Amino acid sequence: MTGDIILSSSGENPKTRQQKQNRYRMIVLFISIFLALVAWLYGYFSTGIDVLPFVSELLPGAVQIDVNSRLYIGYGEDGSVVGYAAVGEAPGYAGPIEILVGIDPDGKVIGAKLIQERESPGFFRLIEDADLIGQITGKPMSSNFRLGEDLDGVSGATLSAEGITSATREAIRLTAREGLDTPLPPEKKSIKFGIPEITLLLLYVAGYVGHKMRNRGLKKKIRLGMLFIGMVVLGFIYTAPFTISMVITFLSGYWPDWQNNLYWYLLIGGILFVTTVDAKNPYCSWFCPFGSFQELVSKITNARIYKPRKWRGAFAWLQRGLAFTAVLMGLALRNPGAAGYEPFATLFDLRGTIVQWVFLLIIIFSSLVMYRPFCNYLCPLDPVVDFIGECRRLIIEMRKKW
């Protein structure tokens, strides 16, 4: 009958039930934002390293160390200057890298010490194996201190290596200007724009065009082509996927200089823009390198998506819980690299611990029996995108009410 109220099996009006669900989602949203803010504040006020003990290591013979702003001056027993030390800071892959550089009165680097870094352990292991910090010692401060010129490059950890060299140049310039009174010429920064950036922009454009297409057959072919390009170019060639570490880096305020990290801004900014404006996930379904690899493995057995109705809610909250825990941990420790648990580097760079290799093998074998197991049950990025969409929905509802 017209005007009758249709009740659900629980005797509750569907509209009332939807209002309750929206209210619960809003409560969870605000609690999540509050906890993230607490973790951010804790990390901000609890970090900090006493640099002075490291200065003594870099300036042998110094019996007295004076601090002049960010410059440390070491004096010998006779009162003469035996050396200078300064801390340089520059963005790495997952946050700022701080390095202490010691220079003698003649302008030669006599030592360098890593003070703090927030990189993923796998990436930084490559830096240590290449002895990049050791290469800095013994060079005159007039050297370029650039990868591929007077320092050897580090394959697979380019952003981390560039962070170290940039921090080194900053420390040397500070010492030259404020200690030795011989300012070096200003550093010229060129915009880094190459194949990864071009590929990413083309993938965004292709994703937008493909999403708008009504021809399902052509739309499917475009998507498969984008997945293949994402896996090969962004995955195996450049190892530049979207990670939870990048999200934590963004929330922590560790924004790198755009000239050398344009790809970072294009990836983060593109996902934020499309998700906020169009409420669509432009990355995970269309050109995620690891998602593409799982999909390729699933094709071998024609594996289907597995989401049992009984456990669907539990799986969803498990995924959200892992993502939220990673974000809180990264913000509280001020170390984005320590919170990442995706097996991306293990697959694309073929490096990792035994645990990481075992985890990757489990994902590969699981992909033979179910469609995208990591994406559907464990990946922290899907909940992050959902969170952005939920904030968007809340803002739209509040605007309508106002």
Q: Are residues 161 and 245 in the same domain?
A: no
Q: Are residues 32 and 159 in the same domain?
A: no
- What pLDDT, on a 0 to 100 scale, did the predictor assign at position 212? 83
pLDDT of residue 157 exceeding 80, the answer is: no
187 lies in a domain? no
- What pLDDT, on a 0 to 100 scale, did the predictor assign at position 323? 94
Average pLDDT, the chain: 86
Q: Are residues 113 and 237 in the same domain?
A: no
Q: Are residues 91 and 170 in the same domain?
A: yes
Coil/strand/helix, residue 184: coil
End position of a domain, from candidates 155, 178, 201 = 178
Joined tokens for residue 253:
């305020």
- What pLDDT, on a 0 to 100 scale, did the predictor assign at position 290? 96
Q: Are residues 40 and 101 in the same domain?
A: no
183 lies in a domain? no
3 lies in a domain? no
**Amino acid occupying residue 51:** V
CA atoms within 13 A on the CB side of 107: 13
Q: Which of 11-20, 226-235, 298-307 has maximum average pLDDT? A: 226-235
User: What's the pLDDT band for 8 if we cut at 50, 70, 90?
Assistant: very low
185 lies in a domain? no
Q: How far apart are CA 83 and CA 102, in angstroms?
A: 7
- What pLDDT, on a 0 to 100 scale, did the predictor assign at position 202? 95
Q: Are residues 224 and 297 in the same domain?
A: yes
User: Which tens digits make up the pLDDT trace of 310-367?
Assistant: 888 888 889 999 999 999 999 998 888 878 889 988 899 888 789 989 999 999 999 9
Instruction: Say what percent of the chain tops pLDDT 70.
Output: 95
Q: Are residues 37 and 61 in the same domain?
A: no
End position of a domain, from candidates 178, 200, 235 = 178
End position of a domain, from candidates 145, 178, 211 = 178
- What pLDDT, on a 0 to 100 scale, did the predictor assign at position 154? 79
- What pLDDT, on a 0 to 100 scale, did the predictor assign at position 5? 41
Strand partners of residue 89: 98
299 lies in a domain? yes
User: Which tens digits make up the pLDDT trace of 243-289?
Assistant: 998 899 899 888 888 888 899 999 999 988 888 877 778 899 899 99
Q: Are residues 235 and 352 in the same domain?
A: yes
Q: Are 226 and 210 in contact (CB under 8 A)?
A: yes
Q: Are residues 311 and 333 in the same domain?
A: yes
Q: Are residues 132 and 234 in the same domain?
A: no
CATH of residue 60: 3.90.1010
Helix intervals (H) in 47-120: 52-58
- What pLDDT, on a 0 to 100 scale, did the predictor assign at position 130? 84
392 lies in a domain? yes
**Residues 152-168: what's their mean pLDDT?**
82
Rounded (10°) CA dihedral 189, 193, 195, 196: 90
What contacts 95, CB < 8 A, 6 or more positions away? 117, 118, 119, 249, 252, 254, 334, 335, 336, 337
Q: Are residues 372 and 229 in the same domain?
A: yes
Q: How far apart are CA 363 and CA 294, in angstroms?
A: 8
User: What's the pLDDT band for 162 if we cut at 50, 70, 90?
Assistant: confident
- What pLDDT, on a 0 to 100 scale, did the predictor assign at position 7? 44
Q: Are residues 103 and 204 in the same domain?
A: no
Domain of 67 in residue numbering reads as: 52-178
User: What is the total count of domains within the chain?
Assistant: 2
- What pLDDT, on a 0 to 100 scale, did the predictor assign at position 122? 67
215 lies in a domain? yes
6 lies in a domain? no
- What pLDDT, on a 0 to 100 scale, did the predictor assign at position 369? 93
